Structures are given as C-alpha cells and as structure tokens.
Amino acid sequence: MIPRREVAQRLDIPLEMARRHGLPTRMTEAELRELEATPPAWLVQSRANRGSKAVWVQLTCDICGATESARPKKWWPAFSYVSCAVHPPDDLPEVPAGVVRREYDNVGTRFVGIVDEPQGP
C-alpha cells in the first residue's frame, strides 16, 4: 500500500490537493496506475496549470546522501549544495577565491541550502 503523501509525490500534486479530491490515505500500486492512466479532470487541469514547475523536489545531502522529498518554496534560490543541518560547514568543498557562500536554513525538514556566488566588485 502506498501512503497518500507518496501518491501525491508520484502524481506531482500538493498533498492538500490529494486530500481535497478525496484520494484515500492509502492506495494500491494498481489503483495508482489506473489513476495515472485515466486521470480525472481535476488532475489534468492541475498539470496543465502547473506548466514545467515541479510541485515536489528531491533534496539530497551532498555530504552523506540522505534524501527527502519536499515542496520547493518561492524563496529557495538555485542551491550549489544541500546538506543536513547536523553537518559542519567544513564538510563541504572549500569556498573558491572570489566567491561568497550563503546558507539558507530550514530547507525541507532537516537541510541547509548553500549558494556559492561570485563576489561583487
């Protein structure tokens, strides 16, 4: 049985939408395949409205490989690295000369997003 959160991830829809449209708390693989093969109108419309923007992203720690699916936030920049919050910054590659490193806390449930960008003039 597949939990509703995973069903939402595999359909690339928000969990709230899965609840609103009455998807059960657990589905079989066959039920999910059927839903994907003959999507209801609300799912077709959702996909058309979304365009190319993903509803879920896979976060992977660049240090230990831990993963998590999360809903991307509007404030997330394009991260150079993602690491678990428990790893010290020294575990990441050194910051190259002429580059500024910025850290963004609260990425997913346990990650820090890191952005390396060229230092301004």
Cβ neighbour number for residue 54 with a 10 Å cutoff: 10
- CA–CA dist 51, 30 (Å, integer): 27
pLDDT digits 0-9 by tens, 26-57:
999 999 999 999 999 999 998 888 777 778 99
* Ordered alpha helix ranges (H), 12-77: 15-20, 29-37, 41-50
pLDDT tens sequence across 60-96: 999 999 999 999 988 899 999 999 999 999 999 999 8
